[in-house]
């Protein structure tokens, strides 16, 4: 496992964060069922997770080519059964959207799997919902986790009730594929809908491809009428999930950092980081018209309580900001972060104590009390890209620390290390571990 040595650093300059992983997934998936005229997706993120979606769509009959960050997709309303098992790699978004889309395959079966981490993640809610809509779908292990088997032949329609407390990706998959059901779908969400803004991102992407969905104001009920996507040109915005980490770096070890290329018009829940950092006393200014944010280092931050139920990817960000807070930071609403790439709640708790922080771990969150002085630490990211980036940023406040798991960044931000070094981060390769 690749590790880096991190020394005390100061960063400065300007940066354009990578494009949105969430919007890239959605745009490629929808374009692949948008008919025979090509769709053009610009500023796409081509990282491990989104390349998995691209490969899965190709396997089901879409013609896709890409050059640089431009992806050209020629889709088909009728998907073909793939020649082989579909591999979603480490991407929960990929497997959940593709599971729903597999019901649209004309004949035969689709088998979906992923890496070791993905094969442990829960999928039963989408399997149950597809069953209610006339699609035979089941876990090969009969425990609700991949590999999954979906029988093609079309989505009948009707009423489906889906658990929203584990992941909003189930809802996104059903919305995207449900447009091509034989009859109208009434989709009802039970439980607390987590990561709600990601459903908003799905609806916004669908609208760009010509389909609008009627839904309740609380986003707990959807009426999906049979329709057809039309080909479109879609420009992917920068990813606020990643930008949030860079903003945190600016607040913790930055002199003056400018983050460019942001889009405040398309819904991204993680844009809430600007408000959260303001509440914590960070010196941060957002120009929503220009799509820019300026962050300057703040010597001491404020504590407080933050419910991140809608924005679980901000858990690592707020956690490392807490290391500079003069009073405790309490994070709630993130029980579903335990079934992300890793158990992020437990893993953040186990690693931040190495810096000297005091941590109280709850089922749905953490209470973090910062140390007077951060200790040097040897940190493990558990092959989780967001944890690696967060720990590497926090480690820049120490004299010398080690962070393992550098290879994980190709999931969402392949250039993270080189971009941070260009801003002044003192990162170097560590000797290989046994």
Distance CA(277)–CA(285), nearest Å, equals 10
In the set 310, 313, 384, 432, the catalytic residue is 313
Identify whether 313 is a catalytic site residue.
Answer: yes
Rg over alpha carbons for the chain, rounded to the nearest Å, is: 21
Nearest Cα to Cα of residue 315 among 356, 270, 264, 257: 270
* Residue positions annotated with a catalytic role: 313
């Amino acid at each position: 496992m690749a590790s880096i040595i991190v020394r005390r650093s100061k960063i400065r300059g300007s940066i354009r964060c990578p494009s949105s992983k969430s919007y890239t997934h959605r745009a490629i998936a929808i374009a692949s069922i948008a008919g025979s005229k090509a769709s053009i997706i610009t500023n796409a993120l081509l990282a491990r997770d989104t390349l998995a979606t691209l490969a899965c769509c190709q396997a089901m009959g879409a013609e896709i080519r890409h050059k640089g960050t431009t992806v050209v997709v020629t889709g088909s309303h009728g998907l073909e059964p793939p020649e082989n098992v579909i591999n979603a790699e480490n991407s929960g978004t990929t497997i959940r959207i593709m599971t729903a889309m597999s019901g649209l395959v004309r004949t035969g079966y689709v088998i979906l799997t992923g890496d070791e981490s993905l094969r442990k993640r829960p999928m039963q809610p989408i399997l149950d919902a597809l069953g209610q809509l006339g699609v035979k779908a089941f876990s090969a292990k009969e425990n609700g986790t991949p590999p999954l088997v979906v029988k093609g032949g079309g989505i009948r329609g009707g009423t489906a009730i889906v658990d929203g407390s584990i992941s909003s990706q189930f809802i996104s998959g059903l919305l995207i594929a449900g447009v091509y059901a034989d009859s109208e779908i009434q989709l009802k969400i039970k439980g607390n809908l987590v990561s709600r803004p990601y459903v908003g991102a799905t609806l916004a992407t669908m609208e760009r491809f010509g389909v609008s969905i009627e839904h309740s104001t609380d986003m707990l009920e959807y009426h999906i009428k049979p329709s057809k996507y039309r080909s479109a040109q879609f420009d992917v915005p920068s990813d606020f999930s990643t930008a949030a980490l860079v903003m945190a770096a600016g607040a913790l070890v930055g002199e003056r950092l400018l983050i460019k290329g942001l889009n405040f018009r398309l819904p991204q829940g993680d844009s809430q980081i600007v408000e959260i950092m303001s509440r914590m006393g960070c010196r941060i200014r957002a120009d929503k018209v220009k799509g820019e944010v300026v962050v300057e280092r703040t010597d001491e931050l404020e504590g407080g309580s933050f419910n991140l139920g809608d924005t679980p990817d901000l858990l690592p960000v707020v956690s490392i900001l807490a290391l500079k807070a003069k009073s405790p930071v309490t994070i709630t609403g993130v029980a579903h972060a335990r079934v992300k790439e890793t158990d992020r709640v437990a893993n953040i708790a186990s690693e931040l104590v190495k810096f000297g922080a005091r941590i109280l771990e709850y089922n749905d969150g953490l209470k973090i009390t910062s140390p007077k002085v951060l200790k040097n630490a040897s940190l493990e990211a558990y092959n989780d890209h967001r944890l690696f980036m967060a720990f590497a940023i926090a480690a820049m406040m120490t004299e010398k620390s080690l962070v393992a798991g550098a290879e994980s960044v190709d999931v969402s931000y392949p250039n993270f290390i080189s971009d941070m070094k260009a801003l002044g981060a003192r990162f170097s390769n560590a000797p290989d571990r046994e």
